[in-house]
């Protein structure tokens, strides 16, 4: 499998965690999203993913899957162990709710092209930062209420919600969002950062991270 990825893309980071938790081999193909790079806008990449975003997963038979959730759900169905979703339906719904909160209600609001649109509309960097911090802070405040009191978000082993939370926390640190009020979130982060799969998937461990 080939994963089209960018080291600090939170959506790519989710998929890297899922691949690492399931112990799956893949080749990382970097797509440079930086201002100088802009590789997501090239015709070649848009042939793979018409949306011009990462991640995209290319299977060995050439099939392309886009959208981190679709990729992670595909991996879960194709390689069920270790499971990223709980056995019990309500618990699965809770895992999906936290994941959707992050993936639908936080990350899209600080995605590169959305921020660039704010800049085009005349907002300066201070205003853009206030915007980013507002949405990450408000979203994580809700996540703090929704996750459990022990170990990872919903139990002893990492699952879908942890796969979404850790990349979102990476972005929170990048934009200096204050996390001190979020004790549960900090507990999960501490635990996950010691886990080999999360370490392997971390932006700092990616070959396309600039020196």
Query: Which residues of this chain interact with ligand GSH, rule CB under 6 A?
Result: 9-11, 33, 40, 52-55, 67-69, 103, 111-113
Closest approach of Cβ 149 to ligand GSH, in Å? 28
Quote the strand ranges of the chain, DSSP E.
2-5, 27-30, 56-58, 64-66
Closest approach of Cβ 32 to ligand GSH, in Å? 11
Residue 154, C-beta contacts closer than 8 angstroms, at least 6 positions apart: 86, 91, 94, 95, 147, 148, 161
Nearer to ligand GSH by Cβ, of 111 and 186: the residue is: 111
Nearer to ligand GSH by Cβ, of 32 and 157: the residue is: 32
Opening angle at CA 204, ends 198 and 207, nearest 5: 105
Closest approach of Cβ 51 to ligand GSH, in Å? 8
Closest approach of Cβ 206 to ligand GSH, in Å? 13
> What span, in angstroms and rounded, lies between the C-alpha atoms of 86 and 103?
19
Nearer to ligand GSH by Cβ, of 158 and 167: the residue is: 167
Nearer to ligand GSH by Cβ, of 53 and 202: the residue is: 53
CA atoms within 13 A on the CB side of 72: 27
């Amino acid at each position: 499998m080939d994963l089209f990825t960018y080291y600090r893309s939170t959506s790519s980071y989710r998929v890297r965690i899922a691949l690492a938790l399931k112990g799956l081999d893949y080749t990382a193909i970097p797509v440079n999203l930086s201002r100088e790079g802009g590789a997501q806008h090239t015709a070649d990449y848009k042939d793979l993913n018409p949306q011009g975003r990462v991640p995209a997963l290319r299977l060995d038979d050439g099939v392309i899957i886009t959208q981190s959730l679709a990729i992670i759900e595909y991996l879960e169905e194709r390689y069920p162990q270790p499971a990223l979703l709980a056995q019990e339906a309500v618990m699965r719904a809770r895992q999906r709710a936290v994941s959707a909160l992050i993936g639908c209600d936080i990350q899209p609001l600080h995605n590169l092209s959305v921020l660039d649109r704010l800049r085009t509309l005349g907002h300066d960097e201070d205003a853009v930062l206030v915007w980013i911090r507002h949405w990450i802070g408000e979203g994580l405040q809700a996540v703090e209420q929704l996750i459990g009191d022990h170990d990872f978000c919903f139990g002893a082993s990492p699952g879908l919600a942890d796969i979404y939370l850790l990349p979102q926390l990476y972005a929170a640190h990048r934009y200096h969002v204050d996390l001190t009020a979020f004790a549960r979130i900090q507990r999960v982060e501490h635990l996950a950062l010691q886990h080999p799969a999360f370490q392997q998937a971390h932006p700092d461990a990616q070959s396309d991270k600039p020196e």
